[in-house]
Amino acid sequence: MSSETKQILTTDGIPLEVSLKKAEKKNKIKAFLLAAPLLLFLVITYIFPIGEMFMRSVDDRMVTNMLPKTFQEMEKWENLEELPPEEVYRAFYEDYKLLVEKQQHGKLGQRLNKEKNGFNTITKKLFRQIKRKKIDESASLKEQINKLHKRWRNVEYWQAIKRTAPPYTMAKYLKGMDMYLAADGGIAQVEEDRRIHRILWLRTLEIAFFVTLFCFLMGYPIAHLLATLPMKYSNLLMICVLLPFWTSLLVRTASWMILLQQQGIVNDFFVMIGLVTDDNRPEMMYNKVGTYVAMTQILLPFMVLPLYSVMKTISPSLMRAGKSLGGTPFVAFWKVYFPLTIPGIGAGCLLVFILAIGYYITPALVGGASGTLISNQIAFHMKTTLDWSFASAMGLMLLTGVLVIYWIYNKLVGVDNIKLG
């Protein structure tokens, strides 16, 4: 501010600029304080736990903490192609004995068994020897342990222990992509016939893609009809979209289970019109067909509602103008109407795709073995195998995928276009 302009003062004698800034700051704090309770609540109960999922997914401190002396001695183990020196054996023996006293040796055996098959047997063997006090601590432990089982004489098992030394690991993420850390430290592929996770990822993407496509193909015409019909008819038809939208997911899944069963109405109808014979009814549930049909119907409202809200704003005179300028109805539709609906298409497809990619309930009920998705696998590991770190890793991989899609969408169309019914 130049010195010539007179500073404007408020009635209290404070310069107006300062006073305004103060008020502005007060307003900022006020606005922030209103949002603060929810923000704090979500950060504690939701955002942090997602961070904890990440910690869990890479955490591998269990073995590191169980075998402290062993890993210390292993630092000095130079020729990794040969069995480790006596000191490593002694350190391992002492660590293991401590674990036996704390009754945690079983956990170690299981963990090492995941690293290299067959570990559980040989650690149990060592455990029995320790219990019977058959091990002479004054003599060479290397010889005594090596005598217990031929696997203790195999250097690969010692290398496996060494591999578990770092406190953090990418192993769970690699496992989620059917890869693993090989003995030489590189990344290797699981054998072809055991690549279950890759199949699941691909299937999840495939189902999400086709469900989105079907929803788009079915949703576009009816959204158009709803947007162009006079209000009194469209309100009535809107119920057909909104009633399923508000109805419980499980109720809708149940109705599809009734419809699609072998003695169900859809099959009855096929028999009636002579498409199939009565004793040759196709199986439509517990496979992909069931998943596609049920998920399309369940997610269709999420496609129709954003499309409708965009189409509603398009003036009908635009189409008339297109036609009057010599376009056929098809050309007018393709060149004028369709481009205007793209934000709606984007919002609908994004919603449906993101919902479909994380779907769990419907595929689990009507999908059978060939209809299960990645979410089912996550739930399976959370509840049945209790491998929470693997479930976390897969969950975060899925989340990353969703966020990438969301980011691309935001770049292309802008998130502000999403509307709720």
CB of 66 to another protein, least distance (A): 23
CA distance 215 to 303: 6
CB of 199 to another protein, least distance (A): 18
CB of 391 to another protein, least distance (A): 6
Q: Which is nearer to another protein, 219 or 322 (CB)?
A: 219
Q: Which is nearer to another protein, 7 or 247 (CB)?
A: 247
In 10 A of CB 392, how many CB atoms?
23
CB of 398 to another protein, least distance (A): 6
Q: Which is nearer to another protein, 16 or 240 (CB)?
A: 240
CB of 237 to another protein, least distance (A): 6
Question: Which among 141, 324, 113, 348 has a CA at the least distance from the CA of 224?
Answer: 348
CB of 28 to another protein, least distance (A): 5
Strands 187-189 and 179-181: antiparallel
| 326 Cβ neighbours under 8 A, 6+ residues apart | none
Q: Which is nearer to another protein, 56 or 116 (CB)?
A: 56
Q: Which is nearer to another protein, 7 or 328 (CB)?
A: 328
Q: Which is nearer to another protein, 122 or 215 (CB)?
A: 215
CB of 421 to another protein, least distance (A): 8
CA distance 349 to 184: 45
Q: Which is nearer to another protein, 104 or 255 (CB)?
A: 255
Contact 88, 55 (CB under 8 A): no
| 418 Cβ neighbours under 8 A, 6+ residues apart | 306, 347, 350, 351
